[in-house]
Amino acid sequence: MDHGMGDRRGKSDEENLKERGDSEAEYRDGGMEEEEEEAVDDEASMNLIKTMTEKLVNETVQVRVHDIVIIGNSKTKGSVIEAYLTDLRDVSTMQDLLQKSAHANSRLRALGIFDSCVITLDAGPEELPGTANVIVEVEEAKRPFSGDLGVFSKPETKAWTLEGLVKYKNLSGFAETIDATGCYGLDTTSELSAGVTYPRFKGLPASLVTRLTLLTQDWKRYSSYRERLTGFSVGLVGDDQHDISYNLTWRDLKDPSRCASKSVRRQLGHSLLSAVKYTYKIDDRDSVFRPRRGIAFVSTTQIAGLGPDSKLLRFARQEVELRFAIPLGFANAAINLGVAGGVILPWGPGYKTKATPISDRFYMGGHSSLLGELKGPSALLGFRTRGVGPSELRRSLTSPTNKGEGEVDTRPKRDTLGGDLAVSGFADFSFDLPMRFLNQYGIHAHTFACAGNLVPLTGENIPQWSPRNFLSGFRVSSGAGIVIPTKLFRLEVNYCYLLRHQENDRVKRGVQISLSSPQ
Q: What is the pLDDT of residue 181?
A: 92
- How far, in whole angstroms, is CA 399 from its chain's centroid? 48
- At residue 9, the pLDDT reads 44
Q: Is residue 290 within 8 Å of residue 485, measured between CB atoms?
A: yes
* CA count, 13 A, side-chain hemisphere, 138: 26
Q: Give the separation between CA 216 and CA 229, rounded to whole angstroms.
A: 6
Residue 461 in this model has a pLDDT that exceeds 80: no
Mark which of 105, 140, 175 sits at the end of a domain: 140
pLDDT digits (tens, 9 = 90+) for 102-154: 888 888 888 888 888 998 888 888 888 888 888 889 888 888 888 888 776 66
Does residue 2 lie in a domain region?
A: no
Q: Identify the domain boundary among 140, 163, 189.
A: 140
Residue 214: what pLDDT?
94
What CATH code is carried by the domain that includes residue 134? 3.10.20.310
- The pLDDT score that the predictor gives to residue 403 is 46
- Do 336 and 303 share a structural domain? yes
How deeply is 29 buried, as exposed, middle or buried, from its count of CB atoms within 10 A (0-12, 13-18, 19+)?
exposed
Q: Which of 140, 162, 185 is the last residue of a domain?
A: 140
Say how many domains are in the chain.
Answer: 2
44, 111 contact by CB (below 8 A): no
Q: What angle do CA 384, 324, 443 make, to 5 degrees?
A: 65
Is residue 15, in this structure, part of any structural domain at all?
Answer: no
Count other C-beta atoms under 10 Å from residue 183's C-beta.
18
**Highest-scoring range by mean pLDDT, 19-23, 84-88, 283-287:** 283-287
Q: Within this chain, do residues 382 and 305 fall inside the same structural domain, yes or no?
A: yes
Residue 79 and residue 204 in one domain: no
Give the mean pLDDT of the chain: 83
Q: Which is more confidently placed, 26 or 507?
A: 507
- CB-CB contact of 164 with 147 (8 Å): yes
Q: What is the mean pLDDT of residues 302-309?
A: 90
Of 254, 265, 357, the residue nearest 314 (C-alpha): 357
Does residue 506 lie within any of the structural domains? yes
How confident is residue 487, by pLDDT bands cut at 50, 70 and 90?
Answer: confident
The set of long-range contacts for 371-374, using a CB threshold of 8 Å and a minimum separation of 24, is: 371/289, 371/290, 371/291, 371/336, 371/428, 371/490, 371/516, 372/155, 372/490, 372/514, 372/515, 372/516, 372/517, 372/519, 373/516, 373/517, 373/519, 374/281, 374/283, 374/296, 374/298, 374/321, 374/323, 374/519
pLDDT at 241: 86
Residues 110 and 170 in one domain: no
CA R_g for the chain: 34
The verdict on residue 44 lying in a domain is no
Q: How confident is the model at residue 20 (pLDDT cuts 50, 70, 90)?
A: low
Beta strands in 255-385 (DSSP E): 269-283, 294-304, 315-327, 334-346
Confidence check: pLDDT of 397 > 60:
yes
The SS3 of residue 281 is strand
Does the residue 509 lie in any domain? yes
- What is the model's pLDDT at position 331? 87
Q: What is the pLDDT of residues 402-455, one digit of tens each?
A: 544 444 445 678 999 999 999 999 999 999 998 888 888 889 999 999 999 999
One domain for residues 66 and 198: no
Predicted pLDDT of residue 406: 45
- 80/189 same-domain check: no
Residues 81 and 178 in one domain: no
Residue 400: CB atoms within 10 A of its CB come to 11
Residue 101 backbone phi and psi in degrees, to 5: -65, -45
Among positive and negative, which fits the CA dihedral 399, 403, 405, 408? negative
Do 242 and 331 belong together in one domain? yes
Whether 242 maps to a domain, the answer reads yes
pLDDT in tens, 27-60: 455 555 555 555 555 565 566 556 656 666 667 7
Regarding whether 444 and 370 lie in a shared domain, the answer is yes
In a domain, 120, yes or no: yes
| Distance (Å, whole) CA 297 – CA 324 | 9
The tens digit of pLDDT for each residue in 313-357 reads: 999 999 999 999 999 989 899 999 999 999 999 998 888 788 999
pLDDT of residue 3: 47
Whether 161 and 175 have beta carbons less than 8 Å apart is answered as no
Mean pLDDT of 173-191: 84
Domain shared by 102 and 242, yes or no: no
> Could you tell me if 124 and 162 lie in one domain?
no
Percent pLDDT > 70 in the chain is: 83
23 part of a folded domain: no
Residues 88 and 177 in one domain: no
Question: Using an 8 Å Cβ cutoff, are 418 and 361 in contact?
Answer: yes
Q: Is the pLDDT of residue 188 over 70?
A: no
Quote the CA–CA distance of 118 and 108 in Å, as a whole number.
10
pLDDT at 360 over 80: yes
Where residue 493 sits, what CATH number does that domain have? 2.40.160.50
Total-model pTM: 0.79
Lowest mean pLDDT among 121-135, 289-303, 382-396, 437-451: 121-135
Query: Domain residues for 497?
Result: 152-393+414-516
